[in-house]
Amino acid sequence: MSANNKDKVFIFAGRATEKLAREVAQNYGIELGKSVVFQYADGEFQPSFEESIRGGVVFIIQSTTPPTDNLFELLMMVDAAKRASADKIIAVIPYYGFARQDRKDKPHVPIASKLIASMLQAAGVHRVVTMDLHADQIQGFFDIPVDHLFGSSLFMPYIRGLEIPIEDVMFASPDMGGSKRAGVYAKTLNNSFVVCYKHRNKPNEIGEMRLIGDVKGKHVILLDDIIDTGTTICKAADIIKEAGALSVRAMITHPVLSGNAIEKVENSSLEELVVTDTIPLKRESSKIHVLPTAWLISEALRRIVSHESIDNLYETTLHQKGVANHIS
């Protein structure tokens, strides 16, 4: 399909990510596709495309945040597109929910992220575009192409624009699992990094946390893919500040921010929390800064349609070929 044949490219929004989808369409240079969701009294709903999409490339943008209605709405929109004779159906999932269930960490539990991959393919998805998966191996759960975008494409320019000497910046991971991410950022900017070791009593409850490394006199940036309850990040920030850091920031792609997480951030040692708009904020906060993803997503969609590589979306930002492939 010709890249100039814009009348055959459609971008539709699920209800969870409508604002972002509208901005993506605007950046792409087309109107957001016309769709509605009919809501029944008992809670059942039915998505409907209000224009012909026959033979077109259809992008459906929906983050699969709670509740699970958002995931099911995406699946129903994919099914509707397939039955409306779309040529290609691409699910754009800025935040891939249930990604923390990527393996069996104890007996008798599901691997939910694999289940969702199977459901998307069964519904008729030809390709998936997502950002900062919680675990890289989730890409292998699909038998279709997965374009994995990186929050580093947004965070790196922001870091370089901070009014602090870059040599005084130190990166930190709030747990051992994120040490690889912190290490790659540190290598890219020729800085060092530290790690917070944590032990959980149960999900969302930290039993113990210790800092591994020296942060005295440094401006520390905590890196992670998800901030949920905020407990881990805020506790890590407090420990790092107590250890002599000049300032502590957190840069986290997906602002789940459950319960009173925003209040925890506001009352913590964090100078600021920098996130993206893959998930709409529940409310604004003076400590939370949101970086837009629309330009990055729309450029990825344009390259998919025109069969161009998306590799240099990472390279031009990181100034180091191949580094972005290690940041999840």
Convert the pLDDT of each residue in 109-119 to its tens digit.
999 999 999 99
pLDDT surpassing 60 at residue 5? no
Active site residue: 8, 19, 106, 198, which one?
198
- The structure tokens listed for 94 are 């800025």
pLDDT on residue 205: 57
- Whole-prediction pTM: 0.90
Q: What is the pLDDT of residue 209?
A: 82
| 309: phi then psi, degrees, rounded to nearest 5 | -70, 145
Task: Using alpha carbons, select from 276, 226, 278 the residue that is nearest to residue 61.
Answer: 278
Q: How confident is the model at residue 200 (pLDDT cuts 50, 70, 90)?
A: low
Q: Is 132 helix (H, G, I), strand (E, B) or coil?
A: coil
Centre a 10 Å sphere on the Cβ of residue 174 and count the other Cβ atoms it contains: 29
The answer, yes or no, to whether residue 324 has pLDDT greater than 50, is no
Please give the sequence-ordered ranges of beta strands (E in DSSP) within the chain, or none if there are none. 9-13, 35-39, 45-49, 57-61, 88-93, 127-131, 146-149, 169-173, 193-202, 205-212, 219-227, 247-255, 272-276, 288-291
Tokens of 280: 């709409």
pLDDT value for 313:
76
Q: Is the pLDDT of residue 314 over 80?
A: no
Measured CA to CA, the distance from residue 80 to residue 41 in angstroms comes to 22
Q: What is the mean pLDDT of residues 212-240?
A: 93
What is d(CA 95, CA 151) in angstroms, rounded to the nearest whole number? 11
- Answer yes or no: is pLDDT of 326 > 70: no
Q: Provide the CB-side half-sphere exposure for 102 (13 A, CA).
A: 14
Asked if pLDDT for residue 86 goes beyond 80, the answer is yes
Amino acid occupying residue 176 = M
- Which pLDDT belongs to residue 175? 84
Residue 198 annotated in active site: yes
User: Residue 26: left if φ>0, alpha if ψ -120 to 50, beta else—which one?
Assistant: alpha
pLDDT for res 44: 95
Q: Which two tokens stand for residue 244?
A: 């002599």
- Phi and psi at residue 192, to the nearest 5°: -110, 175
In what helix (H) or strand (E) does residue 79 lie, and over which residues does it extend?
Answer: helix 69-83
Specify the DSSP element, H or E, that contains 165: none
Instruction: Identify the band that residue 4 occupies on the pLDDT scale cut at 50, 70 and 90.
Output: very low
The pLDDT of residue 264 is: 97
Q: What number is the average pLDDT over the span 213-231?
A: 94
pLDDT-derived band of residue 325, with 50, 70 and 90 as boundaries?
A: very low
Query: Which single residue is written with the structure tokens 């059942």?
Result: 44
> Which 8-state DSSP code applies to residue 94?
S
Cis peptide before 47 (omega within 30 of 0): no
Q: Which residue has the tokens 């709670």?
A: 66
